[in-house]
Amino acid sequence: MSSTSAHDPRPRISACIIAFNEADRIGDCLDSLAFCDECVVVDSGSTDTTLQIAQAKGARVLQRAFDGYRSQKDFAVQSASHDWVLCLDADERVDEALRLAILAARDRGFADAAGYRFNRLSDYFGKFLRHGNAYPDRVLRLFDRCRGGWRGTREIHEAASVDGALQTLAGDLVHFPYRSLEQQLAKTQRYALMMAQHEFARGKRASFGKLVVSPAWRFWRGYVFRLGFLDGWRGLVYAYVRANYVRQKAIMLWLLQHGQPVQDPPRKS
């Protein structure tokens, strides 16, 4: 499908967002994407007012049962009207500097790359983390779907890829990943399980050394070597929680390879 018009030769951009119960965040996300030619929201069964807010903001809303983050994002990309797509989660926003950089690249016809990446800046308990493993968290989110997309089989920690040159744009993708510590802990445990299952299915195995070394290395790499301590107590808490994610994933993989349960079995009614 063409991404240009006869009146304006510049490529058009479709913003693609996946969402589930994001009534408190989807509006700000869509507001930051007002410069795009369309916004496509793929919802996986929200029970709050996510759909109504998205529709009121002018987004085209589609519903699809969730079967994985990568698959959901790929569906959104394939549902877009234009080939150049900008992919966001509902808890992300394009800041002004990034907006201007995207528009400048579009004005050049996206001639220098098949895809563009940029830094992601995450809020953590009221302040942005600017050091450690949290920043710069460079992500590829703007690309020509004819030359790339959400490929592969990994549904968790999914990443887009393209066939062709990559460029890095100025500005930040502002991220509000956690509403509370409880949500972060639950989310990281869920992600650890999904990653352990994915790695086990691919034949990867944990070792006793990795159970001990990998979590410690994750903490020291982020908190010390990447200067996470400069983010104060937030940097310390973040480093601890992320190290615990690595620990949980290694433990779950260890249990899976030894035939031990990592989830409660279904209960008989």
Q: pLDDT tens, 170-217?
A: 999 999 999 999 999 999 999 999 999 999 999 999 998 899 999 999
| Cβ proximity of 193 and 251 under 8 Å | no
Walk me through the domains of the chain, giving residue ranges and CATH numbers.
13-175 (3.90.550.10), 181-257 (no CATH)
Residue whose tokens read 């944990």: 206
Confidence of residue 72 (pLDDT cuts 50, 70, 90): very high
3-state class (DSSP) for residue 203: coil
Q: What is the pLDDT of residue 265?
A: 82
Q: What is the pLDDT of residue 3?
A: 59
Cα separation, 22 vs 47, in Å, equals: 10
- Whether the per-residue pLDDT at 1 is higher than 70: the answer is no
Q: Which amino acid is at 183?
A: Q
Calculate the CA dihedral of residues 211, 217, 219, 225 and round it to 10 degrees. Answer: 180
Strand 92-94 and strand 166-175: the pairing is antiparallel
**E-state strands within the chain:** 13-19, 38-43, 60-63, 84-89, 92-94, 115-124, 127-129, 139-144, 148-149, 161-162, 166-175
Confidence of residue 90 (pLDDT cuts 50, 70, 90): very high
- Whether the per-residue pLDDT at 111 is higher than 60: the answer is yes
Cα separation, 122 vs 138, in Å, equals: 11
